[in-house]
Amino acid sequence: MRGDAVLTPKTEKNFAQARPVRICLITTFAANFEFFISDEAKHFSENGFEVTVVCANMDKQFREKHEKFAKVYELPMPFGVSFASIPSSVRFLNRFFKENNFDVIQYSSPYASYCCTLSKGLKNIPLRVYTQWLLRYTSCKGLKRSVYKSIEKFTCKGATNVVASTPANMEMTISEGLCPKEKISVIGKGGVAGVDFDVFDIGKKPQLRSQVRAELGIDDDDFVFLNVGRLIADEGVGELISAFRRLCEKNEKLKLIFAGKEDTPSFLDRELISWARQSKNVIFTEEKSDSFTAGLMASADILVLPTHRQRFSIALTEALAMELPVITTDVPGPSEFIVKNESGSIVPRGDEEALFKEMSALMKDENRRKLYAEKGRERAEKFYARTVMRKIWFTYYSRLIGFDDGHIKFMYLTSNPAAAVQAENAGVDRIFLDLEVMGKFERQGHLDTVVSHSSLEDVKILRSVLSKSKLLVRCNPVHQGLGREIDKIVADGADVIMLPYFKTVEEVKFFLNCVAGRIRTVLLFETAEAVANVDEILELSGIDEVYIGLNDLHLSYKMDFMFELLSNGTVDMLCEKFKAKGISYGFGGIAKIGEGLVKSDDVVGEHVRLGSTCAILSRTFRNEVDTSRPIDDLRGEIILLRKREIETRRWSEEDFAENRRRVAEGVEKVLEIKRKKKTQSGE
Among the listed ranges 40-54, 161-175, 375-389, which one has the minimum average pLDDT value? 375-389
Q: At what angle do helices 205-216 and 290-299 cross, to 10 degrees?
A: 90
The predicted-structure confidence for 190-224, as pLDDT tens digits, reads as follows 777 788 888 999 999 999 999 999 999 999 999 99
The sign one gets for the Cα dihedral 29, 33, 36, 37 is: positive
Mean pLDDT across the stretch 51-75?
93
2: pLDDT confidence band, cut at 50, 70 and 90? very low
Q: State if pTM tops 0.85.
A: no
What is the identity of the amino acid at 232? I
Asked if 22-186 and 407-681 have one fold, the answer is: no
User: For position 440, what pLDDT does the model report?
Assistant: 61
- Element containing residue 635 per DSSP (H, E): helix 634-648
Cα torsion through 377, 382, 383, 384, rounded to 10? 50
Could you tell me the fold of the domain covering 22-186? Rossmann fold (3.40.50)
Q: CB within 8 A of 58, min separation 6: which ones?
A: 30, 72, 74
- Percent residues over pLDDT 90 in the chain: 61
Contact in structure between 294 and 267 (CB atoms under 8 Å): no
Contact in structure between 401 and 103 (CB atoms under 8 Å): yes
Cα–Cα distance, 131 to 34 (Å, whole number):
15
Flag whether pLDDT at 540 surpasses 80.
Answer: yes
- Under DSSP, the state recorded for 20 is B
137: pLDDT confidence band, cut at 50, 70 and 90? confident
Q: CB within 8 A of 454, min separation 6: which ones?
A: 415, 433, 434, 435
Gyration radius (Cα) of the chain, Å: 28
- Element containing residue 496 per DSSP (H, E): strand 496-499
Cα–Cα distance, 347 to 330 (Å, whole number):
6
Residue burial 90-128, b: 16+ Cβ < 10 Å; e: rest: bebbbebbeebebbbbbbbbbbbbbbbbbbebbeebbbb
Instruction: Show the 3-state SS of 415-467.
Output: CCHHHHHHHHHCCCCEEEEECCCCCHHHHHCCCCCCCCCCCCHHHHHHHHHCC
DSSP calls for 546-561:
EEE-HHHHHHHTT-S-
The values of phi and psi at residue 110, to 5°, are -55, -50
Cα–Cα distance, 186 to 139 (Å, whole number):
22
Contact in structure between 141 and 56 (CB atoms under 8 Å): no
4: pLDDT confidence band, cut at 50, 70 and 90? very low
Q: Where are the beta strands (DSSP E) in 578-633?
A: 584-590, 614-617
User: For position 269, what pLDDT does the model report?
Assistant: 87
Could you tell me the fold of the domain covering 407-681? TIM Barrel (3.20.20)
Cα–Cα distance, 301 to 244 (Å, whole number):
14
Cα–Cα distance, 33 to 55 (Å, whole number):
7
Residue 20 CB coordination number (10 Å): 21
- Cα(first)–Cα(last) distance of the chain, in Å? 63
User: For position 44, what pLDDT does the model report?
Assistant: 87
DSSP calls for 649-682:
TT--HHHHHHHHHHHHHHHHHHHHHHHHHHHHHT
Residue 436 CB coordination number (10 Å): 19
What is the identity of the amino acid at 516? A
How big is the CA angle at 450 (ends 526 and 590), to the nearest 5 degrees?
A: 70
The predicted-structure confidence for 89-103, as pLDDT tens digits, reads as follows 999 999 999 999 899
Cα–Cα distance, 334 to 347 (Å, whole number):
11
The predicted-structure confidence for 40-49, as pLDDT tens digits, reads as follows 888 888 878 8
Higher pLDDT: 35 or 359? It is 359
- Domain ranges within the chain, ordered by starting residue: 22-186, 202-384, 407-681
Flag whether pLDDT at 3 surpasses 50.
Answer: no
Residue burial 42-55, b: 16+ Cβ < 10 Å; e: rest: bbbbbbebbbbbbb
Higher pLDDT: 8 or 253? It is 253
SS3 label, residue 129 = strand
Residue 214 CB coordination number (10 Å): 12
Cα–Cα distance, 246 to 460 (Å, whole number):
71
How big is the CA angle at 30 (ends 22 and 241), to the nearest 5 degrees?
A: 140
User: For position 236, what pLDDT does the model report?
Assistant: 92
User: For position 82, what pLDDT does the model report?
Assistant: 79
User: For position 311, what pLDDT does the model report?
Assistant: 66
Flag whether pLDDT at 518 surpasses 50.
Answer: yes
- Pairing mode, strands 496-499 and 470-474: parallel
Flag whether pLDDT at 124 surpasses 70.
Answer: yes
User: For position 193, what pLDDT does the model report?
Assistant: 76
Contact in structure between 224 and 281 (CB atoms under 8 Å): no
80: pLDDT confidence band, cut at 50, 70 and 90? low
Considering the domain 202-384, what is its CATH architecture?
3-Layer(aba) Sandwich (3.40)
- Under DSSP, the state recorded for 523 is E
Flag whether pLDDT at 405 surpasses 70.
Answer: no
Residue 533 CB coordination number (10 Å): 19
How big is the CA angle at 173 (ends 167 and 179), to the nearest 5 degrees?
A: 120
The predicted-structure confidence for 597-656, as pLDDT tens digits, reads as follows 999 999 999 999 999 999 999 999 998 878 888 998 999 999 999 999 989 988 998 999
Mean pLDDT across the stretch 290-295?
90
SS3 label, residue 251 = coil
Among the listed ranges 1-10, 183-192, 233-242, 663-672, which one has the minimum average pLDDT value? 1-10
- Pairing mode, strands 545-548 and 584-590: parallel
Cα–Cα distance, 388 to 393 (Å, whole number):
9
The predicted-structure confidence for 430-469, as pLDDT tens digits, reads as follows 999 999 988 665 555 444 444 456 889 999 999 999 998 9
Contact in structure between 29 and 55 (CB atoms under 8 Å): yes
- Percent residues over pLDDT 70 in the chain: 93
Cα–Cα distance, 107 to 397 (Å, whole number):
14
Flag whether pLDDT at 559 surpasses 50.
Answer: yes
User: For position 479, what pLDDT does the model report?
Assistant: 94
